[in-house]
Amino acid sequence: MMLRLSHTLPLLAALLAAIAPAPALADDASWYRADALQKALDRETRSRAYDGNSVDLLQNGAESFPRRARNVDGADVTLIKVYNFRDDPAGRALVARLVKRLRAGKQVIVQFDVKGSVRSPMALFRMLRGKQSPIPKHLQPILDHGGLLIPTNAPTTLAEVNPIWGKDHEKYFMTWRAGRALSTIMGGMNIGDEWATGGTDKRAEKLHGAHGFRDTDVEVHGPVNRAILAELMRDARFHLDRYVARFAARGAKNTAEVNALVQTLRGRRAQLATATRAISRDERAFARQAQNANMRFVANKRRLGPRGQYIEKALRMLMKAAPSGSEIALSNAFFLPTPTFERDLSEAARDKRFEMLLNGRDAVESGFRMVARRGRADYRRLMSGKPGDKRGIGITEWHGDDGRKVSSLHQKLWSFGKSEHAPFGIGSSNLDYHSLRRNSEGLLLIQAPQTKRAFDHMLQRDFRAPKNERLQRDRMPRRIKSLFIKATSLPRSWL
């Protein structure tokens, strides 16, 4: 007997529902490994995911800096790319360690951003004219003992004399010893007392005697280091060749010191290839690790302009892709995002909950205070929902934690859901125009359940710090608030 159509359709619908894949739940992380999202990330961010890695969480300077020192002391090759390399006890101690490795016949290559060391437009103008070397005196011993120093963003055009826009802001600390896995320490920490003293009894003179920053790094081993090494070397070659080409052509117009530097850099360029070859030929350098963490390394390509700002693209894609009901937490030093990022954040918050931990207006560093004051004008416009809601945006201001011996936030962290299998992110990128649009930056997206548990515990401890302040919404209509902000505040893109 044939079934009536009215009976057949419900049966067919039930059968299709039974065999169709279930939608991702908020506490499930299958959404992240979905082929469609992974292929979109591959395409839109020019990156790829690697299995077989290991990750170790370094929760403050007290954990990260001793690890760096230990790694350098046993390294055949040390590769560093950093924004700030301070002339202070922490910076000079590392220089001494690097010189010791050079005296032992090992390789040391350091990239530092000139704008992280020099804030004077006049000094940058003298560099542009070839009248001043971009090498700070405290780093000169590395060059004197045979190492390679690469001054990134030494100005070669008049537009680059500005000390603010266009920085290489990444922080990669790579060490390799023959027969061992290549190590990368990366995250928010530069080289200086502000970072090294975080979590210790010591105080940072540059912070007027305050504790060091609240900041976080990770140490990673495994196949993902191929991508990080390639990015570091690509930038090193670009900046070295750019500086040499510009000032070799000027010849007699330069000072003798600058001409000597040009010849030294030209003669030592081969060290880049030598280091890459030595590491790549070691079968253990990128060996798979037992932890089998999945990692994706995303790097901004500043030279490509807006289309090369891959970190913003990745973060926007993940905010959108996370399933309804997800609880996403982030902690960042600077939050003045682009309109595109803010729009996508607000749209994602319609069915997800975002909790943000940001610096307060009493932060210990002037740049933090400036951004926090300007940002606070926007925060109440963004906030929606109540604590415990499954959607909306909540903002907590951080005012330091004396018990943990840390001051202002410098970390850049994301947790894309409560599940231990959900991805988390760490890197150098703030959430302001500089990082999202103008700087070169690096981001690691990581799936590692055991480390994710520790990561979330660390973040929740930050959110519960005793001096934190939970911001409240005001009752001014949103449209009026928006117009008032635009009329009375500096543009976010200027800060």
CB-based contacts of 141: which residues, under 8 Å, 6+ apart? Answer: 95, 99
Could you tell me the pLDDT band of residue 119, with boundaries at 50, 70 and 90?
Answer: confident
Ordered by where they begin, the domains of the chain are 55-280 (3.30.870.10), 301-494 (3.30.870.10)
DSSP 362-415: T-SSHHHHHHHHHHHHHHHHH-BS-TT-SSEEEEEEE--BGGGTB-SB--EEEE
- Please tell me the pTM assigned to this model: 0.92
* Residue 15: pLDDT over 80: no
* Residue 486: pLDDT over 80: no
Q: Which amino acid is at 289?
A: Q
Q: What is the pLDDT of residue 208?
A: 86
* Pick from 187, 191, 183, 176: nearest CA to 142: 191
Could you tell me the pLDDT band of residue 374, with boundaries at 50, 70 and 90?
Answer: confident
Question: Cα separation of 279 and 414, whole Å?
Answer: 31
Instruction: Report the Cα 406 to chain-centroid distance in Å.
Output: 19
Q: Are 382 and 346 in contact, with CB atoms under 8 Å apart?
A: yes
Give the rounded percent of residues in the chain with a pLDDT score beyond 70: 89
* Pick from 344, 281, 284, 283: nearest CA to 312: 344
Q: Are 336 and 358 in contact, with CB atoms under 8 Å apart?
A: no
CA dihedral 285, 179, 78, 197 (to 10 degrees): 90
Q: What is the pLDDT of residues 182-191, one digit of tens each?
A: 999 999 999 9
Of the candidate ranges 24-28, 261-265, 401-405, the one whose mean pLDDT is the lowest: 24-28
Q: What is the pLDDT of residues 235-281, one digit of tens each?
A: 999 999 999 999 999 999 999 999 999 999 999 999 999 999 999 99
Q: What is the pLDDT of residue 90?
A: 98
Helices 366-382 and 339-348: crossing angle, nearest 10°? 50
Query: Average pLDDT of the chain?
Result: 91
Q: What is the pLDDT of residues 306-358, one digit of tens each?
A: 789 999 999 999 999 999 999 999 999 999 999 999 999 999 999 999 999 99
Q: Are 384 and 392 in contact, with CB atoms under 8 Å apart?
A: yes
Question: Cα separation of 140 and 375, whole Å?
Answer: 39
3-class SS of residue 194: helix
